[in-house]
Amino acid sequence: MHRSHFRLMLGVLVAVTSLIVAGAAGGASKKSTAGSVTFGAEQEPPCLNGFTSGCNNTWTSWTAGIALANVMIVKPDFTIKPYMGNAKVVSRKPFTVLVTLNKKAKWSDGKQVSADDLIFTWQTIVNPKFDLASRSGFDSIARAVKVNGKAVKFIYKTPYAPYKVQFATYSIIPKHALEGLDFNTVWDNNYNNKAGQTMASGPYKLQSYTKGQSLVMVRNSTFWGKRPTLDKITFVFRTNTDTEIQAIRGGEVDAIYPQPQLQLAQLRGQSGLKVQTNAGTTIEHIDINTGAGNSSPLLGQAWFRQAIAYSLDRTGMIKQLFSTLNPGLPTLNNLSYVTAQKGIYVPHFAKYQINNKAKRLAKVAAIMKAHNCTKGGDGIYSCGGEKASVRLGTTSGNKLRELAVEIMQAQAKDAGIEFKADSQPSRLFFPRIAANKYDLALFAWVGTGDPAGQVDIYGCAGDKTADNPQGYGGSNWKGYCKPGVTNALKASDAALNPKARIKLVNKADALMANDVPTIPLYQKPTYFVFKTSLKGLVDNPTLQGPTWNTEGWKAG
């Protein structure tokens, strides 16, 4: 071999070896130091001000949002408990909520978290100049009365039953740091006050944020609660499921909280890793377009929608999809409450689940016969000249949903109803639904376990305008309007007695179980994977997410 070739190859060999040596040496010293956790975050917050529409993302609150504490907190069992304070109803007429703050609650720059901050938070949220994602609850407040440095009475315009959810969802922001600033542009990639110090009322404060790479939270020594054990929590962004799996296997991250995907099943039983799964509060369901814009008038008939519901073996489908990921994931049979809410959840839709295939097909056949439908040569019914053929679409690219569509296509076909697949990527899918251009749509509502605002989805209590003569709720794209349902849901938002409220919501749900404007499927399972050496990590399937209790986390 030529001498120059030798030299070249030798050079390459030396380079590679030195890289390996450097890497091995580096790898050894870069072990997670006791007291720090590296968490693989599946999405990067678009920006850090979670209040604004543009930055509103669950991962914003699950990562940087740890720094901003809320008055109440939703526990994994869906109960809402006091956290940085408490919210109590002190008067029904006018509806008044007394919000008190923990005496020890203070900001990381030393100032107390005070009543002024509470009032400032309210004023900021209802300020129309700011492009905020949501104002629910706060826009019902008529005025605020400062009781003392740590308590405020909020007087509402109308009774607002989900007030606890309100104070569990919105963080409290510091007046002295944000007063006078443009809330639309402030706190984009840091939580600094006017002096450049990072602000925090939660157990950890934001130390640094490298866009596209990582977000580092360090212990907030001024935290009012139990002293946080960890020094540091580093969130690194890993959006690809396979990459997350290899990263946690290889120890490049210590914990992940991925969306359910089939390949995650391989992490169960992996030594050194623990898997916690629960049924979450994201409700996967099928919306049915009962009004204008659908392709078959049959969809406007309740009996036909019932036939569709009977033709589906939802339990069988869920079993096939999730047996490896979350065995035992229950079928959801209520549109407003989740299965874990004992005593509250009533499975009104359970009647549509017939496990035995023969009985299932017989039931659909009976319904079809009763309405003079006949089966065509291809096995699909025709009713008065209308073929029982509708479009079923979902967000393409989401594997589990696509598989669900294929399963349901086969099930419906057996029963004599044709589902034509009509999926689009989400950016095209959702506008079409909003424009009522669909038949059956499979997607999910992100919920909290509290049915606040359901009237928007199932009712027609909105203002009747030229665009919207029926007054459909803002998220009611089904053309569904039943006064019984609308009134019950609207009343529930004002029902202060929790028992009365539950009764009203379930009353609406029972009515909808007969009308079938929507078919509930399942709650999307949560999937929390972390190293067994980490203690104190508990999955919270509500909107609070896995970082709801970081003050109790211990490493090693």
Give least dist CB 135 to other proteins, A: 8
Cβ proximity to other proteins: between 23 and 484 the closer is 23
Instruction: Look at phi and psi of residue 434 and say left if phi exceeds 0, alpha if psi is from -120 to 50, else beta.
Output: alpha
User: Residue 189 in contact with residue 212, Cβ under 8 Å?
Assistant: no
Nearest to 281 by CA among 547, 540, 508: 540
Name the pairing type of β-strands 518-531 and 273-288.
antiparallel
Give least dist CB 30 to other proteins, A: 6
User: Residue 330 in contact with residue 522, Cβ under 8 Å?
Assistant: yes
Cα separation, 293 vs 436, in Å, equals 5
- If one counts every other C-beta atom within 10 angstroms of the C-beta of residue 164, the result is 24
Give, as ranges, the residues between 507 and 546 that touch other proteins (CB under 8 A). none
Cα separation, 175 vs 193, in Å, equals 10
Interface residue with other proteins among 147, 273, 365, 421 (CB under 8 A) is: 421
Q: Quick one: which segment of 155-163, 242-250, 506-514, 516-524 binds other proteins (CB under 8 A)?
A: 242-250
Give least dist CB 386 to other proteins, A: 22
Adjacency order of strands within the sheet including 96-101: 85-91, 96-101, 151-156, 141-148
Give, as ranges, the residues between 427 and 456 that touch other proteins (CB under 8 A). 427-428, 430-431, 433-435, 456
> Residue 411: beta bridge partners?
none
DSSP symbol at 47: S
Cβ proximity to other proteins: between 457 and 511 the closer is 457
Phi, psi of 73 (to 5 degrees): -140, 145
Cβ proximity to other proteins: between 91 and 266 the closer is 266
Give least dist CB 432 to other proteins, A: 9
Q: Which two tokens stand for residue 250?
A: 């290889």
Give, as ranges, the residues between 327 and 386 that touch other proteins (CB under 8 A). none
Q: Is 288 exposed, middle or buried (0-12, 13-18, 19+ CB in 10 A)?
A: buried
Cβ proximity to other proteins: between 89 and 421 the closer is 421
Cβ proximity to other proteins: between 214 and 296 the closer is 214
Rg (CA), the chain: 27
Q: Quick one: which segment of 83-91, 150-158, 262-270, 506-514 binds other proteins (CB under 8 A)?
A: 262-270
Interface residue with other proteins among 79, 148, 158, 320 (CB under 8 A) is: 320
Chain center to CA of 370: 41
Q: Quick one: which segment of 86-94, 95-103, 167-175, 208-216 binds other proteins (CB under 8 A)?
A: 208-216
Give least dist CB 286 to other proteins, A: 16
User: Residue 152 in contact with residue 12, Cβ under 8 Å?
Assistant: no
By CB under 8 A, residue 238 contacts other proteins: yes
Q: How many CA atoms lie within 13 A of 310 on its CB side?
A: 22
Contacts of 544 (CB under 8 A, 6+ apart): 73, 74, 168
By CB under 8 A, residue 266 contacts other proteins: yes
Cβ proximity to other proteins: between 96 and 124 the closer is 124
Give least dist CB 410 to other proteins, A: 5
Q: How many CA atoms lie within 13 A of 290 on its CB side?
A: 23
User: Residue 382 in contact with residue 371, Cβ under 8 Å?
Assistant: no
Give least dist CB 515 to other proteins, A: 23
Give least dist CB 524 to other proteins, A: 12
By CB under 8 A, residue 26 contacts other proteins: yes
Phi, psi of 52 (to 5 degrees): -75, 155
Give, as ranges, the residues between 156 and 185 that touch other proteins (CB under 8 A). 184-185
Q: How many CA atoms lie within 13 A of 212 on its CB side?
A: 0
In one-letter notation, the amino acid at residue 436 is: N
Give least dist CB 127 to other proteins, A: 10
Give the x/- contact pattern for other proteins in 453-492, rule: CB under 8 A: ---x-----------------xx-x---------------
Interface residue with other proteins among 11, 13, 14, 30 (CB under 8 A) is: 30
Cα separation, 340 vs 522, in Å, equals 12
Give the x/- contact pattern for other proteins in 36-65, rule: CB under 8 A: --x---xx--xx----xxxxx---------
In one-letter notation, the amino acid at residue 413 is: K
Interface residue with other proteins among 64, 69, 115, 132 (CB under 8 A) is: 132
Give least dist CB 202 to other proteins, A: 22
Cβ proximity to other proteins: between 95 and 237 the closer is 237
By CB under 8 A, residue 275 contacts other proteins: no
Give, as ranges, the residues between 84 and 123 that touch other proteins (CB under 8 A). none
By CB under 8 A, residue 292 contacts other proteins: no
Angle in degrees, CA 427, 431, 434, rounded to 5: 150
Give least dist CB 68 to other proteins, A: 18
Interface residue with other proteins among 425, 484, 498, 536 (CB under 8 A) is: 425
Contacts of 27 (CB under 8 A, 6+ apart): none
| Count of residues interacting with other proteins (CB under 8 A) | 89
By CB under 8 A, residue 247 contacts other proteins: yes
